[in-house]
Structure 1
Amino acid sequence: MRTHHCNELRESDIDSTVTLVGWIQSARDHGGVIFVDLRDREGLTQAVFRPEENAEAAKLSHTLREEDVLRITGRVAKRLEGTSNDKLATGAIEIVVTDLEILNKAEVLPFRLDKELSNEDLRMKYRFLDLRRPRMARNLQLRHRATKATRDFLDDAGFLEIETPVLSKSTPEGARDFLVPSRLNPGQFYALPQAPQQYKQLLMVAGVEKYFQIARCFRDEDLRADRQPEFTQIDIEASFVDREDIIKTTEGLLQRVFKECLDKEIGGNFLRMTWHDAMNRYGSDKPDLRFGMEIEDLSDVFASSGFKVFSSALASGGTVKAINAKGFACVTTGQINNLTELAKLHGAKGLAFIKVENGEWKSPIVKFFSEEEKAALAEKMKMEEGDLILFGAGDWQTSCEVLGRVRLAVADYQKLLENDDQLKFLWVTDFPLLAFSPEEDRWVAVHHPFTRPRAEDVEKLQKGEYAKIRAEAYDVVLNGHELGGGSIRIHEQDLQSDMFKALGISEEEQIEMFSHILDAFKFGAPPHGGIALGLDRLVMLLAGEVSIREVIAFPKNNRGADLMSQSPADVEFKQLRDLYLRSVAKRKEEKLVESTNKDIEPSSN
């Protein structure tokens, strides 16, 4: 239907006859001569309707409005002196229209497409219009290029793209599963995969050696700006590899993606940091390294402190830490209150601080410090005029996490990252294998149940020294965002069984939920490992967006709803009946009541 797209014509095309199609970005009446900016996904071209060229077309042009769909034919002409637009690639030319076909008329739009809209629900309801905007069209094209660069790189490296099932088995992997009832097997359910983890390990057992997949994943968890109930990850697994092999492959992949998408060169050999160091210095397992403000340990400074908050923390085996927000003594009372509430939200009882103003230390806690403590504090924190010192005291992990959150909030207040185009990549390694969950009263996997413990810590797993075990796991981080995580996997049946036991999964439950992978490990499973990168988050960072919803064609909102298609939605009774859902629920309830009654019946003895 066209000879060129709307971002293709240049001065070299002047006097050519062309045909373009697209939507009207804007229409302007200049004394009876109508100017139209015609838009397709590639860009804009200005068209002009003059009565002397085609009276009928010129007459029709007066009825045009934004988002009407047109097909125009005309002559490429140079714009008049002083009317060229340097901001447009096509800004030196225009199309003098000789023929007009209106392919479709548009009703008045619910919002303008040439302005940013803060009402996200309205954007989601009319997502098909929202995606017409140049920024959104650019994001979708960027996602395509990132996906293509990924496929090309991994293909060159000998990886095979293999699909794994979307309907699988519900097993405990950290998040809540989405369940799908089986009509053919009443009372039984599939689960949508949280990740293809077990399948890709089974592919390693099958001898595939190098696998990848642009995988759809599903997790029924609370949402936020960088989380969706359905998302896409670049899933990678390889056999006969160690951690360095996976890291090298991942760095090469990211280099290719950033070069092809943004024409940016990023060096290999990203910085590395252990999980303990990342938490200790930055209060986060995905630290943003674009600014300093590192956390300092002051436990030695206040070892004999008269300040009860600090002395109590140290006496109970905790720590005293602080950050120096250089030049932020101008912090307002409202900002201090907000930082204090943030600290409380993440486990602190409060947030002590010192302002250095006019040569004085302004704080209600300074009166409790000795002169020796003040001198040591000033030296260790490199305190100067205009600084703000913020303290955390308590157990080590809580103190680190609180100051990590406060650090990011202060950077936001100080606008430290405004217009910052740095790319700070980092590998975080040596995560804890297990963490104790007070809510569940059991040990849980920090990554997932198939992560291998460090070789020197395997014995600790068998001895039950769970708090001391490090994982052969690694995360790649960019500017404070986790791009992906991976590990070397367990490939021995006995070690995998020990890991399940540590997680409180009995032998009977292991057979019921994981017999397929435990059986597979009996038949010569190779050493293997891999990584999964969040494609949505990667493209979000490439595009400079702050939410992954901006790089997903049809996302859910923060309540997990698709406002455009109005899902989730009620379904007809017949559909529920076909799936036996009501009868299954009733039967399970009866069994539960029966089991409970049996438990409380008095013994016959």
Structure 2
Amino acid sequence: MEISLQDPVVDAMKIRISDDPKTTRKFVADFLDSPDGKVFLDNPDGQPGIFIGDVSQPMQGLGPLGYQYVMEGPEALAVENGDLLVLQARPNAPFSGGSTMLGNLRLALHKAAIAKGLIEAPKSTKFVWITDFPLFTPSSDSEPGQGGSAGFSSTHHPFTAPKTPEDVDLLLTSPSSAVAAHYDIVVNGVELGGGSRRIHSAAMQEFIFKDILKMKPERVEDFRHLLDVLRSGCPPHAGIALGWDRLMAVMCNRDSVRDVIAFPKSGRGEDQLVKSPNRMTEEQLETYHLSLRE
């Protein structure tokens, strides 16, 4: 299927797989033939461009990219023998909806290379703070719980404060350019927690509801209790929610939190220990003075 994107953005990444181009080539072929690779071949924005560094090939295996790229391309993407270079096009639009396809492909390739013994599994613990998120991101459909009609929604949630006084000013002229006081902490590629500084001004909060997100009046009224409390006086405040189970999974070198929590649920949300959810017995209903109606 031929894909045509007008004025696309092209993302690129490089991964060191092996010293042998044949080994890298076989690894990529096996990955793309696997169920994990199918989603990337079926990408509605087009398949990724795969290039393998090979000194025995013309222009080190980058011939399709042209002589100018090989000679003047970004130094960070220069390939050595056995390197894997991946290019992926996407629409030229602001980020929205989480990871890019190339980001997901990078994680999948890294995991597959570790499983094949081509890349050593990380032994150290590395943390990074992700900051400077956009306060608002475009969305064709308003996010659940926001219910606005502005064509974009709050990236984190509608209670996140603008980061600086300059970002407050942008609310009047270019809301989509405003930066949020929102932050995530990531450990070894896993999001450990996230949080934000909250809006503590009732006037600003109501302005964002009504004038930025363009919520319906009845939806704004759902938050009237919050606006009333803010008007009563509220200091600047912030917080973060950390995923303790995620941290334990990283520390124990596990891929899933199910391996480190006491009572993991099944794929259908069932607790196998206490057999819930289940129908309450008459004795249980009587204890709490409850009755069931059809």
- TM range, smaller chain: 0.7 to 0.9
In structure 1, the partner of 2:145 is none
Equivalent residue letter for 1:438:
S
The answer to which structure has the higher strand fraction is 1
CA contact (8 A) 1:325 1:389 kept: yes
- CA deviation digits over 1:476-532, x for unaligned, max 9? 111111111111110111111122233343233222x21221111111211111111
The CA deviation at 1:462 is 3.6
Question: Is it true that 1:423 corresponds to 2:125 in the alignment?
Answer: yes
Question: Is it true that 1:390 corresponds to 2:86 in the alignment?
Answer: yes
CA contact (8 A) 1:324 1:387 kept: yes
Q: Secondary structure at the match of 1:476?
A: strand
Aligned 1:538-577 pairs, distance under 5 A: 538-571=247-280
Question: Is it true that 1:323 corresponds to 2:13 in the alignment?
Answer: yes
Whole-Å separation in 1 of the counterparts to 2:280 and 2:17: 59
Distance change (3 Å), C-alpha of 1:403 and 1:456: same
Whole-Å separation in 1 of the counterparts to 2:78 and 2:220: 55
Distance change (3 Å), C-alpha of 1:510 and 1:578: farther
Distance change (3 Å), C-alpha of 1:555 and 1:504: farther
Whole-Å separation in 1 of the counterparts to 2:249 and 2:71: 46
In structure 1, the partner of 2:246 is 537
Whole-Å separation in 2 of the counterparts to 1:468 and 1:579: 53
CA contact (8 A) 1:354 1:361 kept: no
- CA deviation digits over 1:63-107, x for unaligned, max 9? xxxxxxxxxxxxxxxxxxxxxxxxxxxxxxxxxxxxxxxxxxxxx
In structure 2, the partner of 1:348 is 45
The CA deviation at 1:556 is 1.0
Whole-Å separation in 2 of the counterparts to 1:366 and 1:467: 40
CA contact (8 A) 2:54 2:80 kept: no
Aligned 1:586-601 pairs, distance under 5 A: none
In structure 2, the partner of 1:408 is 107
Question: Is it true that 1:505 corresponds to 2:215 in the alignment?
Answer: yes
The CA deviation at 1:557 is 1.7
Whole-Å separation in 2 of the counterparts to 1:433 and 1:358: 46
Equivalent residue letter for 1:482:
E
State which of 140, 149, 157 in structure 2 corresponds to 1:438.
Answer: 140
| Cα RMSD after superposing both structures | 3.3
CA contact (8 A) 2:48 2:86 kept: yes
Q: Secondary structure at the match of 1:383?
A: coil
The CA deviation at 1:472 is 0.6
Q: Which runs of 5+ in 2 are unaligned?
A: 143-148
Whole-Å separation in 1 of the counterparts to 2:227 and 2:256: 39
CA contact (8 A) 2:55 2:61 kept: no
Q: Secondary structure at the match of 1:324?
A: strand
Whole-Å separation in 1 of the counterparts to 2:263 and 2:8: 47
Greater C-alpha Rg = 1
Equivalent residue letter for 1:507:
P
State which of 358, 376, 384 in structure 1 corresponds to 2:72.
Answer: 376
Whole-Å separation in 2 of the counterparts to 1:335 and 1:363: 22
Equivalent residue letter for 2:16:
K
Q: Larger deviation: 441-450 or 478-487?
A: 441-450
Equivalent residue letter for 1:326:
R
Q: Which runs of 5+ in 1 are unaligned?
A: 1-307, 583-605
TM-score, normalization by structure 2 = 0.76
Aligned 1:409-488 pairs, distance under 5 A: 409-415=108-114, 418-440=120-142, 442-454=151-163, 455-463=165-173, 465-488=174-197
TM-score, normalization by structure 1 = 0.39
The CA deviation at 1:392 is 0.7
Equivalent residue letter for 2:11:
K
- CA deviation digits over 1:517-573, x for unaligned, max 9? 111111121111111111221222233332222222222122211123222224579
Identical-pair percentage: 32
CA contact (8 A) 2:49 2:88 kept: yes
Q: Larger deviation: 481-490 or 556-565?
A: 556-565
Aligned 1:78-477 pairs, distance under 5 A: 313=5, 316-328=6-18, 329=21, 330=23, 331-332=25-26, 333-338=29-34, 341-344=38-41, 347-357=44-54, 359-360=56-57, 366-367=63-64, 369-377=65-73, 379=75, 381-395=77-91, 397=95, 401-415=100-114, 418-440=120-142, 442-454=151-163, 455-463=165-173, 465-477=174-186
- CA deviation digits over 1:448-495, x for unaligned, max 9? 2211012312233344x3321210111111111111111111011111
Whole-Å separation in 2 of the counterparts to 1:509 and 1:376: 54
The CA deviation at 1:340 is 5.2
Whole-Å separation in 2 of the counterparts to 1:417 and 1:356: 17
Whole-Å separation in 2 of the counterparts to 1:363 and 1:340: 25
Aligned 1:70-85 pairs, distance under 5 A: none
Distance change (3 Å), C-alpha of 1:462 and 1:568: farther
Q: Secondary structure at the match of 1:470?
A: coil
The CA deviation at 1:434 is 1.8
Whole-Å separation in 2 of the counterparts to 1:363 and 1:498: 56
Q: Secondary structure at the match of 1:357?
A: coil
Aligned 1:17-96 pairs, distance under 5 A: none
Distance change (3 Å), C-alpha of 1:345 and 1:517: farther
Number of aligned residues:
265
- CA deviation digits over 1:237-274, x for unaligned, max 9? xxxxxxxxxxxxxxxxxxxxxxxxxxxxxxxxxxxxxx
Whole-Å separation in 1 of the counterparts to 2:292 and 2:134: 42
Equivalent residue letter for 1:413:
A
Equivalent residue letter for 2:125:
L
